[in-house]
Amino acid sequence: MILHLSSTTSADVAAELDSLRDKSGSVALGKVLTLIVVARNDESIEAALDAADGASLSHPCRIIAYLPDRQPDAHEPSLSAELRVGGEAGVSEVIILRPEGGAGTDPTSLLLPLLLPDTPVVVWWSEDAPTNPAKDPIGRLATRRITNSIANTNPVPVLKELAKNYTPGDTDMSWAGCTLWRGYLAAMLDEPPYEKVDSVEVKGSMEHASTYLISAWLGLRLDVPVSVSNSQGYGLEKVTMKRASGDLVLHRKVGETTALFQRPGREDQRVNLETRTQEHRLIEELQRLDPDIAYGHVLEAFGNGVVSGC
Amino acid sequence: MELAPRNREGQIGQVTNPLRHAEDRRLPKIAGPCSLVLFGITGDLSQRKVLPALYDLASHGLLPPSFAITAVARKLKEPLEDIVERAVRDYAQTPFNQRVFDQFVTGLTAVMGQYDDLGTFERLAERLSALDTEYGTGGNHAFYLAVPPDLFETVLTNLGEAGLSDTSEGWRRVVIEKPFGHDLESSQELNDLVTRVFDPEDVFRIDHYLGKETVQNLMSLRFSNELYEPLWNSDHIDHVQITMAEHIGIGSRAGYYDGVGSAKDVIQNHLLQLLALTAMEEPVTFSPDDLRQEKEKVLAALDFFGPIEESAVRAQYSEGWQGGKFVKAYLDEDNIDQSSKTDTYAALRLGVRTRRWNGVPFYVRTGKRLARRVTEIAIVFKKPSFLPFDPRVTAGQENNTLVIRIQPDEGVTFRFGVKIPGASFKVRDVTMDFSYGHAFTEYAPEAYERLILDVLLGEPPLFPQQKEVEESWKILDRAFEYWNTLDTIDTYAPGSWGPASSDEMLARDGRAWRRA
């Protein structure tokens, strides 16, 4: 069911949700978190909501999509809202808030009445993120703040800024993009011979934040020089860990969904390594709501220039 | 909740993997290099549980890249890959993916031969040593005995003879499935046999009802919350009911089931383990040893609650209509002897002889062809010692009850009284409901998946140890001593909640079974 409310207030939206719940049986109880999605504009909100709806199948939640106030074309300050429950919203309930003409001056006051009691609040900036998420007015409402530097084609300054302001609870979607790669790379070093890695080469899109984060992670944990080179593909393409006995290589050719697992003296293996969708990354981000300290350290290492040339 | 401190965190043997870091909780914990040797690959257990679980682990990327499976089989009627593919397609949780499957079967081979032929095991040893060098399994091998218990001795002896239990190169683990014997004596014999070949800590007794989630939920409920533990004793708890009910009959399992029965099949391991986890004291830590100690103490303190004649009921299902279908009596099932006294239903009234549980009966029951499929632990609280109401006010209220549902719909409910809206003051029961499926709909691995991964990671805390098995048999042996003196066996209608004698057992105490 989709319901449009114009010239409304947050209290009216909350009351309307309560009454919808009585009528249609959609329950707020049992939802485990409130997810605030901050989108850039009306054009981009649907893609973000698709991912959030998909993620809500894994984490039943109330989704509040917040569109920043469009001051310029405003006449009167007003808030319009769109409610989606039941079939249209999967297992979540969706509220889209569109403040206009100054009604969004204080976003906190718009959002607070709509947060579920006693459950964590997560904010996800689906495109543009504030440089200091924890100090952002909406970020302050949340215990977990997810930025999406993947949406930016020049991620280095974005990551530098995030590194400068890192607060426990911050995380970035590009970090979830590294997880499968990291799993396989760590598994390579689980196997004998347990030999020191001397240096690392990472090949990945220079326009993709995952390239930098995985390089920073390898540099931090292995304490060796990491060199980064550009790939024409999307995201990561190849990681080479150089050792005296030969190279350990994880290589996903551009456009492929499997990667080659190469070790000296052993036959190459194919492993499943798909590029993760926005939805999958979001599901992973919502799995643990405690601060991801490991990410903080990797981001800090990146900020401190562990990866040369960035 | 992490149960045991992972000694493997960053550690592979004595070697540290710098990429694994304690704080990095997102990095998947992939099992180290190893292989699994599967005895009985065409059997029901391998087909329905073991192979699908392994595939699910593979598709979640939790198996090491060089993971190999070796089947030991007498003869195969069709290609090995087809056998594995069918099991995966029919029973795996994750959708079939050709790429994952192709990778999954790269290390799959069979060693053909008889289980009683030492030559078979020598060929197996050669195969494993080839895996170590060519495939990088590093001398780490788990042997999964998915064969009938009467073959254990042959297989174990030959594993030892062929030097396959030798741990000088890596770890060797052996996995056996319940039943762990059929009475105290046979369980001791089995244990002697296993431990002649493998170290006790390398023996993994799998009981899938203790799949991690269930057990961890029970412990997190009890020990990570302030609300429950202070009430968890005879001052506040009236009694406990533990139920595992199935709606199906024995189907085609007569060969296994007849002579075993519900008490030995289910109470001895599943239900008494659940009882132990419900009644145990808080372990000092969640390390395997500390946890086991507390479970052992409860099982050692377990006794019948009152005379055994009034504390043990067994019965068989009779024929009748069940949910729109006419079903056969147990005695009419295929290959069942007309004089069989095998129990398809059993209920015991037990007590834990400790200060905490003095005077609190634990009723455990299990059965086939009962009203529905459910496994749960119900903690029934006492009524308040004083009620400031007219008795008519609370007439509609029963005891507060906390129910830990294990399957289906894993979760927790709490039944309590609230005032009925309106001018008059009356109280009625309502239920607070927490469902894991609703709160965490994300993928939850099957019990077998977790347990097999635990075997490969070498994390044993949830696998029952021999002492627990023995203590459980002591109780069951006494029930059978009594039942063997009886000439008849009670019956119950299919689709019901069991025989009248079981209801009477509780009625004598002024209590009743829950409609679970």
In 3D, which of A48, A73, A184 has the Cα closest to residue A124? A48
Residue B246 is labelled as binding a ligand: yes
Q: Which of A179, A183, A258 lies closest to B99 in CB terms?
A: A258
Res. B515: pLDDT tops 50: yes
CB proximity under 8 Å: A 173-202 to B:
175-176, 179-180, 182-192, 194, 197
Segment B76-100 mean pLDDT: 91
pLDDT tens digits, A57-115: 778 889 999 998 876 566 788 899 999 887 666 667 899 999 988 888 889 999 999 99
CA nearest neighbour of A121 among A233, A188, A34: A34
Segments in B267-351 forming alpha helices (H): 272-279, 288-300
Closest CA to B457 of B54, B15, B64: B64
Whether A71 contacts A102, CB under 8 Å: yes
> How much is the pLDDT for B445?
65
Token pair 């990429």 in the structure block, residue: B19
pLDDT of B442 over the 60 cut: no
Query: What is the maximum span of chain A, computed from C-alpha positions, in angstroms?
Result: 72
Q: How many CB atoms lie within 10 A of CB B481?
A: 11
From chain A, pick out residues whose CB is under 8 angstroms from the CB of B438: 30, 60
Q: Does B66 lie at the interface with A, CB-CB under 8 angstroms?
A: yes
Per-residue HEC secondary structure of B185-239 comes to HHHHHHHHHHHHHCCHHHEEEECHHHCHHHHHHHHHHHHCCCCCHHHCCCCCEEE
Please determine, for residue B168, whether its predicted confidence score (pLDDT) is greater than 90.
no
Residue B325 known to bind ligand = no
Contact (CB<8Å) A179/B26: yes
The answer, for B438 touching chain A at a CB cutoff of 8 Å, is yes
Q: What is the pLDDT of residue A153?
A: 87
B22 touches chain A (CB under 8 A): no
Least confident segment among A35-44, B203-212, B350-359, B375-384: B203-212
Q: Which of B141, B247, B270, B438 is catalytic?
A: B270
B98-102 contact pairs (CB < 8 A, 24+) = B99/A257, B99/A258, B99/A270, B99/A272, B100/A272, B100/B55, B100/B58, B100/B59, B101/B55, B102/A270
| Cis upstream peptide for B230 (omega within 30°) | no
Are B15 and A60 a contacting pair at CB < 8 A? Answer: no
Please check whether residue B17 touches A, CB under 8 A: yes
Residue from B27, B34, B440 to probe the interface with A (highest A Cβ count within 10 Å): B27
Residue of B nearest to A184 (CA): B65
- Using DSSP's 3-state secondary structure scheme, residue B307 falls into coil
pLDDT band at B448 (very low <50, low <70, confident <90, very high): confident
Say yes or no: B107 contacts chain A, CB-CB below 8 A. no
Residues of chain B positioned with their CB less than 8 A from the CB of A223? 18
Verify cis geometry, omega within 30 degrees of 0, for the bond prior to B408: yes
Peptide bond just before B200 cis, omega within 30 deg: no
How many Å apart are CA B109 and CA B512, to the nearest integer?
55
User: What pLDDT, in 10s, does the model give residues B281-335?
Assistant: 999 988 878 888 999 999 999 999 999 999 999 999 999 999 889 999 999 999 8
pLDDT of residue B1: 40
Residues 6+ apart with CB under 8 A from A63: A34, A35, A36, A37, A49, A52, A53, A56, A89, A92, A93, A94, A95
**Once rounded to an integer, what is the mean pLDDT over residues B5-18?**
51
- Judged by CB atoms closer than 8 Å, whether chains meet at A179 and B32 is answered as no
Query: Binding residue per annotation — B265?
Result: yes
Q: Is B212 annotated as a binding residue?
A: yes
Residues in chain A: 310
Q: What is the per-residue pLDDT for B508? A: 96
Helix intervals (H) in chain A: 10-24, 42-58, 107-111, 155-164, 173-176, 179-190, 209-222, 278-287, 293-303
Residue B270: active-site member: yes
- pLDDT, residue B13, reads 44
Binning pLDDT at 50, 70 and 90, where does residue B14 land? Answer: very low
Going from the C-alpha of B142 to that of each of B122, B164, B398, B427, the distances in angstroms are: 16, 10, 51, 58
Nearest to A134 by CA among A147, A145, A121: A145
Residue range B398-417, pLDDT digits in tens: 999 999 988 887 889 999 99
pLDDT tier, A24 (very low <50, low <70, confident <90, very high otherwise): low
Nearest CA among A215, A244, A217, A248 for reference residue A231: A215
**pLDDT tens-digit map of B178-210:** 778 889 999 999 899 899 999 988 888 887 777
Out of B24, B134, B442, closest to residue A283 by CB:
B442
Interface test with B, best of A61, A191, A249 (most B CBs within 10 A): A191
Q: CA–CA separation, B189 vs A204, rounded Å?
A: 60
- Between residues 215 and 274 of chain A, which touch chain B (CB distance below 8 Å)? 218, 221-223, 257-258, 261, 263, 266, 269-272
Q: Which residues of B touch A287 (CB under 8 A)?
A: 442
Q: What is the mean pLDDT of residues A49-56?
A: 86
pLDDT band at B269 (very low <50, low <70, confident <90, very high): confident
In this complex, do B65 and A269 lie within 8 Å of one another by their Cβ atoms?
yes
Q: Between β-strands B141-145 and B35-39, what pairing exists: parallel, antiparallel or unpaired?
A: parallel
Task: Band the pLDDT of B5: cuts 50, 70, 90.
Answer: very low
Output the pLDDT for position A73: 65
pLDDT surpasses 80 at B462: no
Question: Is B511 assigned a ligand-binding role in the annotation?
Answer: no
Please list, in sequence order, all residues whose beta carbon lies within 8 angstroms of the beta carbon of residue B266, skipping any fewer than 6 positions away. Answer: B244, B346, B366
Q: pLDDT by residue (tens digit) across B134-164?
A: 887 888 999 999 998 888 989 999 999 999 9
CB contact under 8 A, B27 and A182: yes
Cβ of B421 under 8 Å from any chain A Cβ?
Answer: no
Mean pLDDT, all residues of chain A: 88
pLDDT band at B9 (very low <50, low <70, confident <90, very high): very low
Q: Do B18 and A223 touch (CB under 8 A)?
A: yes
Rounded Cα–Cα distance for residues B511 and B508 (Å): 7
Minimum distance, in Å, between the CA of residue A132 and any CA atom of chain B: 23
Instruction: Please give the residue of chain A at the shortest CA–CA distance from B104.
Output: A271
Count CB neighbours of B248 within 10 A: 12
Beta strands in B74-231, from DSSP E residues, in sequence order: 108-112, 141-145, 172-177, 203-206
pTM: 0.83
Q: What is the 3-state secondary structure (H, E, C) of A136-161?
A: CCCHHHCCEEEECHHHCCCHHHHHHH
Q: Which residues pair with B348 in a beta bridge?
A: B312, B364
Q: What pLDDT shows up at residue B12?
A: 42
Check whether B515 is labelled as a binding-site residue.
Answer: no
> Is B75 marked within a binding site?
no
Q: Which two tokens stand for residue B129?
A: 């040593």
Residues of chain A neighbouring B68 (CB-CB closer than 8 A): none
Provide, as residue numbers in chain A, all residues whose Cβ is less than 8 Å from the Cβ of B106. 269
Q: Which two tokens stand for residue B426?
A: 């009356």
**Residue A118 burial (CB count, 10 A):** 5
Q: Does residue B107 contact residue B101 with C-beta atoms inside 8 Å?
A: no
pLDDT for residue A64: 94
CB B427 within 8 A of CB B396: yes
- Chain A (33-92) residues lying within 8 Å, Cβ to Cβ, of chain B: 57-60, 91
Q: What is the pLDDT of residue B30?
A: 78
pLDDT band for position A176 (50/70/90)? very high
